[in-house]
Amino acid sequence: MSYDCLFCKIAEGKISSYKIYEDEEVFAFMDINPQAPVHIVIIPKKHINGLDNVFYEDEQVLGHIQVVAAKIAKQFPEMKNGFRVINNCGENGGQTIFHIHYHLLGGRVFSWPPG
């Protein structure tokens, strides 16, 4: 854990969130500023700064997050026709919280390329 990290504190329950899913490795919660009818943030409990700071030892948990995203998506009728999973990395990628996280978005049609 990183002492000044908002998402570490959310995963530990020290800051409240609308929890959607939790297991030993992963925590998922509703985004506070949703960009779609359903907007969920999925994080590893382990503190990792971002996708530009991962190692082979992180493969398992990062792969697990994708399986969790698919599992959560199945629980929301809004995502039955598809959904989007996004990682924003670094300044140019639009990352604002430096604990790696994946956005799971659904309930509308998403354009391509993204903005």
Catalytic residues: 101
Tell me: does residue 37 bind ligand AMP (CB under 6 A). no
Q: Which of 45, 47, 89, 107 binds Zn ion (CB under 5 A)?
A: 47
Q: Which of 11, 72, 83, 88 binds ligand AMP (CB under 6 A)?
A: 88
Bridge partners (DSSP) listed for residue 19:
29
Tell me: does residue 22 bind ligand AMP (CB under 6 A). no
The stretches of 1-115 forming alpha helices (DSSP H) are 6-11, 59-74, 90-93
CA gap 27, 92 in Å, rounded: 25
Tell me: does residue 8 bind ligand AMP (CB under 6 A). no
- State phi, psi for 67 to the nearest 5 degrees: -65, -40
74 in helix, strand or coil? helix
In whole angstroms, how close is the CB of 93 to Zn ion at the nearest point?
17
User: Of 80, 82, 87, which is closest to residue 102 (Cα–Cα)?
Assistant: 87
Between residues 32 and 109, which has the closer beta carbon with respect to ligand AMP?
32
Tell me: does residue 96 bind ligand AMP (CB under 6 A). yes
E strand intervals along the chain: 19-22, 26-30, 38-44, 84-86, 102-106
Tell me: does residue 109 bind ligand AMP (CB under 6 A). no
Contacts to ligand AMP by CB under 6 A: 6, 17, 29, 31-33, 41, 88, 94-97
Contacts to Zn ion by CB under 5 A: 2, 5, 7-8, 47, 99
